[in-house]
Amino acid sequence: MRLTDHPILGRPDRGRVVTFNFDGGEMSGFEGEPIAAALRAAGVAVHRYTKKHRAPRGVFCAIGRCTDCVMVVDGRPNVRTCVTPLAEGMCVKTQYGAGGGELGSSAAPEAADGRATDEKV
């Protein structure tokens, strides 16, 4: 999935290789790239399951607006992985519902300004 060369953009300038943990397994990516990019490169598509319908969600806007890509990162739920840089040793987990946050708390991703897709499923 990674682009190693490109007819217009040439070879990418990447950070150093770092390892991180995804749902208990070890993975690697480039320091500073969005967590979602490292996951995409590793073939991970599902970032979270919604609270009510347990429907899977993945990257949708890639610019931090829709909250579909949120995961539990280093124990913190609702982290938008498409705009959060990857760092050595991060612990990234698929988020289920509000991700351990209090139910109905304002931290629930569905409350954010975005696509709020839960109502639609």
Partner 1 sequence: MKRYDLIVVGAGPAGLSAAAEAAAHGLGVAVFDENSRPGGQLFKQIHKFFGSKEHKAKIRGYDIGAGLLREAEGLGVKVYLNSPVTGMYLDREIVAETDGAVSHYRADAIVVATGASENMVAFDGWTLPGVMGAGAAQTMMNINRVRPGSRVLMLGSGNVGLVVGYQLLQAGCELAAVVDAAPRVGGYGVHAAKLARCGVPFFLSHTIVKAEGETRVTGVVIGRVDETWNIVPGTQKHFDADTICVAAGLSPSTRLLLMAGCEMYEPVPGGGRLPVCDEFTGKTSVQGIYAAGDVSGIEEASSAMIEGRAAGAAAAAELGYISGGELKARLDKLETALASLREGMFAPKNRGKVFVKTDEGYDISDSLLRNGYLADGEATKYPGVKSVAGIHPVIECTQNIPCNPCQDACPKGCIKVGTNIVSLPAVDEKAGCIGCGMCVASCSGQAVFLVNEDVGGGFATVTAPYEFLPVPQKGERGVALDRSGAPVCEAEIVDVRTSPSFDRTFLLTFRVPGEQCSRARFWRREVRRFGRD
User: 111 is in the binding site of which of ligand FES, partner 1, none (Cβ under 5 to 8 A by kind)?
Assistant: none
Does residue 60 bind ligand FES (CB under 6 A)? Answer: yes
67 binds, options partner 1, ligand FES, none, Cβ within 5 to 8 A by partner type: ligand FES
- The residues in 10-39 that bind partner 1, with binding defined as CB under 8 A, are 12, 14, 33-34, 36-37
Among 31, 60, 91, 96, binds partner 1 (CB under 8 A): 60
- Can you give the three-state secondary structure of 33-76, one letter per residue? CEHHHHHHHCCCCCCEECCCCCCEECCCCCCCCCCCCEEEECCE
- Interface with partner 1 includes 63 (CB under 8 A)? yes
Q: Which is nearer to ligand FES, 16 or 69 (CB)?
A: 69
Decide: residue 106, CB within 10 A, 0-12 exposed, 13-18 middle, 19+ buried: exposed
Residue 118: C-alpha distances to residues 10, 27, 53 (Å):
39, 30, 8
Measure the CA–CA gap between 101 and 52, rounded to whole angstroms.
15
67 binds ligand FES per the rule CB under 6 A: yes
Query: Can you give the binding site for ligand FES, defined by CB under 6 A?
Result: 59-62, 64-69, 80, 82
